[in-house]
Copies of this chain bind each other. A is one copy, B any other.
């Protein structure tokens, strides 16, 4: 096996082209094997095998610097830079992350997982080199899908005029943005592909770049030749490389969207090994929204390239016509457009992952909330139970969004409440509303849920008790139920259990009323405590005799964590909390 001899880009330089081709086959098979067992990003990694070999072959990494956009295509890079064992030996699979990771290797420059960042980061490396007097090559590898993101444009535009020295921007054109591409620039990429890069009207040239076209981006020899000619070039250049997403694995080539990110699958069929057969909130919401759309021309769903996270299939999207809107990777635009649609009388629903909402703080604040536009925002994966990768964790949204004025941020605790909140939000006209999609398993309401949430900040007392009041928000409501039951069993009194529902405000009347027969309030929230929900409750009681204990997550970046362990570490466990209460109550 050739790969076994490769520990650095230096080793790679000893190979001839034929050996590089064999190596690419070896790498490809290892990707397919590992991802079929562990899951992960499949199509993006398969598409760039030859590109990655060619870059390390030509350039003197790690002195020459490669920045991968999103870095969900860095498996070949990892195999070539000292981490092949994590692909060759299944017991070492977990030793490397699915993204570039500075803890793993000096070849990895940043911990990255969001799109559209590579050009700006590379600009920083380049700018520093030119000011401090270095000579290394700086290469940014960015997919066509990431180019629609505003940050990528800002970097591309800036470097097109204000970077004087070497900078090689590799546009990996695999004709996908998770789902299909949307945006005028993709028409231009098509024109460039059709003309072998010769069309006069060229997006990259318009931004000031020298431009190279590589028709067969899965041909390692062709790539090596092109990069060899660019090594050491004294100004920015865009290399437009056409690759095939999923290259070399028939199922991935034929199903680019669903094999963008996969769970463990059978290589022979491409089918998922353990398809989830139970109920899931993504499908529940999808079905609800599809029905709303079909019944009402005014309802539209806007998603930025992530239709998959709500299981909107290409067929269903087609069926929903112009009321399902994929804006590609362009979250800022998506939120702003939703504000415009609301202004014009529509009922827009914008949905993406919590981690990607981070790109839209200003649009939520300015376009939506200052203008009080009745946009519905569905915040997905906002939970300790959701994505565990460093760059995708969903425990910061409450701190980020819930302190924006005018916004009504709701936390449903079960299926019926979730859909009732979404329905209310879509049909009302008074507030910008965000809804935190539950992520802790599908629960059904034990009694009828409210249909109208317009009476803001009215918490719901689920069980009236005394002594201790548990205010259990959203995903942690079930933990609150468990805590209430255990207190009743072990402490000899029945505590009050409250479903607050509203993240963005406090029910002053209810909180005041608790003062008469409660001496402790416990808040539970599925997010960081800093800037979160519980602190507002504590502030309310600041000058009273009420004791308040806030439970939630510590303010920290977690990575590939074990949920159970993190919950315990943060005392998010009924028994631990009861123990804490006993310690606080002391001699009571």
A positions within 8 Å CB-CB of B: 67, 102, 109-114, 117, 120-132, 134, 148-162, 182-188, 200-203, 205-209, 297-298, 300, 322-323, 325, 327-328, 330, 332-333, 336-346, 348, 358-359, 361-363, 365-367, 369-371, 390-391, 396, 399-400, 402-406, 528-532, 534-536, 538-539, 541-543, 547-550, 555-557, 584
Contact = CB atoms under 8 A, between A and B. Distances in A.
A536 B300 CA distance: 40
B158 A110 contact: no
Given A150-B149, A157-B185, A206-B188, A542 B531 contact: no
A392 B545 CA distance: 39
How many copies of this chain are found per oligomer? 2
B370 A123 contact: no
A402 B396 CA distance: 11
Nearest to A332: B151
B154 A124 contact: no
A579 to B, nearest CB: 14
Given A111-B370, A187-B208, A539-B550, 11 more contacts: A110-B339, A117-B363, A121-B343, A127-B341, A131-B298, A150-B153, A161-B187, A188-B206, A403-B530, A405-B528, A531-B535
Nearest to A364: B358
Contacts of A323: 131
Task: Decide if the interface of chain A is mainly helix, strand, loop or mixed.
Answer: helix
Nearest to A126: B340
B557 A547 contact: no
Given A155-B333, A185-B160, A206-B185, A125 B340 contact: yes
Contact of A403 (B156, B300, B400): B400
A182 B156 CA distance: 12
Contact of A123 (B121, B157, B333): B333
Contacts of A361: 358-359, 361-362, 400
A343 B155 contact: no
Contacts of A359: 361-362
A439 B183 CA distance: 43
Contacts of A531: 399, 402-403, 531-532, 535
A445 to B, nearest CB: 29
